[in-house]
Amino acid sequence: MILRQILRLSSLFHSAVSVHLRRNIGLSAIVFNKTKELDPVQKLFLDKIREYNTKSKQAGGPVDAGPEFQKDMNESLARLQRAYGEGDLTKFPEFKFEEPKFEETPK
């Protein structure tokens, strides 16, 4: 009696695991095929993004930005510094949160 239940549970477990594995393997096969064979427009888009990434790393900032962009950027930074005070406005501010001090009060 116990042996039959164990065998039945093991066969149920085996079938559930095999279905799960087949689904995952089937899904991953589809995903891998799609990443290898991209649409030509998607491929062109990804190539342009990668090209811009390499150019921006070499330039150290925006790509193909002329003197007008730099002039506008400097004017905007000067206006913001007048409005908000000192500090480097090109960096994200660092926040420091202190741990609250809890005191136990007698009842």
Which tens digit of pLDDT belongs to each residue from 24-43? Answer: 666 566 566 555 677 888 88
Confidence of residue 13 (pLDDT cuts 50, 70, 90): low
Token pair for residue 76?
A: 């905007």
pTM of the model: 0.38
pLDDT value at residue 75: 92
pLDDT value at residue 48: 92
Where is pLDDT greater, at 103 or 6? Answer: 103
CA distances from 50 to 24, 46, 57 (A): 31, 6, 11
Where is pLDDT greater, at 50 or 15? Answer: 50
